[in-house]
Amino acid sequence: MTSDYRKLTEREIEVLRLQGCTAESWERILVKEGFSPDNIAHVRFYGNIRLGIYDKLHDYGGIKRKAGVRNAELHDVTVGDNVLLENIGSYISAYDIADEAYVSDVGYISMTGASSFGIGTRVAVLCEGTEMFELPLHDKLTGHEFYFRYMYAEGRIDSACNIPVYIDRLVENRVAAVTSDRGYIGKASTVVHTRMIEDVWIGDEAEVRGAEALRNCFLCSASVGKVRVGAGAICRNVVIQAGADVYDEAKITDCLVGQCVHIGKGFSAESSLFFANSYMDNGEACAICAGPYTVSHHKATLLIGGMFSFMNAGSGTNMSNHMYKLGPLHYGVMKRGCKTASGAHLVWPARIGAFSMVMGKVDAHVDLDAYPFSYVFGNDRSVQLVPGVNFASVGTYRDVRKWEARDKRKPCDGMLDYISTYSELNPYIISKIVKGRKRLEMLRRSQGDCNEYRDGNIVISRKALERGICLYNKIEQLYVVLSAVALSGFKKVSEKKYTEWVDMLGLIVPQEYVMDLCHDMEEEKITSVDDLCVYWKKWKEDYPLLLKQTIECHYTLDRVVEALMNYEPNIHCYYEALYADIRKEEELGDSSLSRISSGFVEMLQHDCDEQLKKAKERLSSLLKELK
């Protein structure tokens, strides 16, 4: 506040002059009581200036130096207490630099006028050529919000409220709250060796080291979730959430970088959303929604016009959203846990079922949503489908168990993207498996006894179809047991009946929950983007109860007991398939691989024994209930 400051004394002005400082008007320089000019040298002051107290040492790379302002040109700048600001190539204009920040070797830092710092930037995701999935960026944006908009745009929500317009209005309030003609560099933040910073809001304890350029950006940094922008990075119209880092000549434009997301090694992205814990190196992305834990490590990998979560892109994966000559109008969806093999090519539109592996060129525009855990082989304008086989895969087993351990966020960060469960066996996946099994059975009935079955452009061999039906049955029984093991007080009838489930990029909820949110919007009960975040958090907290209710609703006690009785052979079959998967790699590897795999086998065996023990205990308890 201005009342905390006073004007310079004649003696202080004289000292500043002797130390190479000049001022457009010394009268417009205000300082805090206790200010000393000793650490201010070779500075040119223009406009209204506020200076603090500089009496502490900064430790940077083991070298300690006194706080102060040296070798800089400042235009309408506030420099907080114990800031070290030095060696500014051109100038700093219209910025407030908070206490203990370190700013050095920067080309220039300036505001070009009133700015919302990237918040409100409109981004056309998935369908590049239209406004179908266009949305404004903001600092509380989540994958759940985008998926909610996506459901509305696809006609999967029937609401009297125009959902995108309603949410846009909430974001407009946030834009109005942050818009300012003054930039900000947060407390204890570091901005060094960077060429250009223009219209950027930098949160507390952020680190901007060696970046090439930042323009119209919002860095949501805090002490519990520092944002880092590093060597050679270029960011334009970007919102970066807590804990994220953008490094090593990454170039991103019109993007959201979510909590604890990593983007580096020359990765380039445009008009894309990257949500919690995604990891992007080397490749390229355009108009994608990368839900939590989406990973792409390799060069020559192009992700375009797609929506993913928990996805791993193999080397050389390529996606096409120009089907013919009308432009980039098409998009695709790969559900939770999908992978692509090296050199995979997906031509949108298409939908790939959860936890599926895609190989070859898939250009048949298929909808495989009802076939989770499948192998998908592109084959001359058709798809060869092997349903269910990716469930008992070591790769799937490892993926599911590593994600939670790789969450870099801390609960105190204020998490934005919620994961209801990391398990591959959840109500959403099982609802798809039930549909897939019924669809396979329908194909068998309608097409009779044949070597190949066709579902549009999908080709399924007789062996694959029979095995798929069997696997989907076993997977459902495993789900019932694993869920029942975790439940207590099992009842035959539940008060709630949830039949349709959605996976909102990590947040698994009944369709009814989504409709309740729509109803609350119709009644204008939601007044801010923070209110939306309250819904996401509650839905995550409700998941255990929802799981209990759906088991009680869809499975009688007799069905649960039947699944428990079959659990031992089913679980042995599952782990035998995992062991067989390991043996395949051992046969291809050297002796060292055998030593590594033996430890993994021991872990699997322990896991198997624990699962059987819990299931037997639950079976005994349920049998007592029956008596």
Condensed to tens digits (0 to 9), the pLDDT of residues 571-602 reads 888 888 888 877 776 666 655 556 556 666 77
Question: Alpha-carbon distance 111 to 107, whole Å?
Answer: 14
Question: Alpha-carbon distance 256 to 286, whole Å?
Answer: 12
Tokens 């039906």 found at? 469
Torsion angle in degrees (nearest 10) through CA of 364, 370, 375, 376: 10
Asked if 71 contacts 65 with a C-beta cutoff of 8 angstroms, the reply is: no
Question: How many other CB atoms are found less than 10 A from the CB of residue 155?
Answer: 7
Nearest to 524 by CA among 178, 177, 175, 160: 160
Peptide bond into 164 cis (omega under 30): no
Separation of first and last alpha carbons in the chain = 75
Torsion angle in degrees (nearest 10) through CA of 443, 449, 450, 453: 10
Question: Alpha-carbon distance 441 to 240, whole Å?
Answer: 48
Question: Alpha-carbon distance 22 to 73, whole Å?
Answer: 10
Whole-number pLDDT of residue 439: 95
Whole-number pLDDT of residue 198: 97
User: Rounded to a whole number, what is the largest CA-CA distance in the chain?
Assistant: 101
Question: Alpha-carbon distance 125 to 528, whole Å?
Answer: 23
Token digits of residue 472: 């989907």
Whole-number pLDDT of residue 291: 95
Q: Are strands 375-378 and 383-386 parallel, antiparallel or unpaired?
A: antiparallel
Whole-number pLDDT of residue 609: 80
Token digits of residue 468: 């798929």
Can you list the residues of the chain whose pLDDT is less than 50? 1, 493-494
What pTM was estimated for this model as a whole?
0.93
Question: How many other CB atoms are found less than 10 A from the CB of residue 430?
Answer: 22
Helix (H, G, I), strand (E, B), or coil: what is residue 273?
A: strand
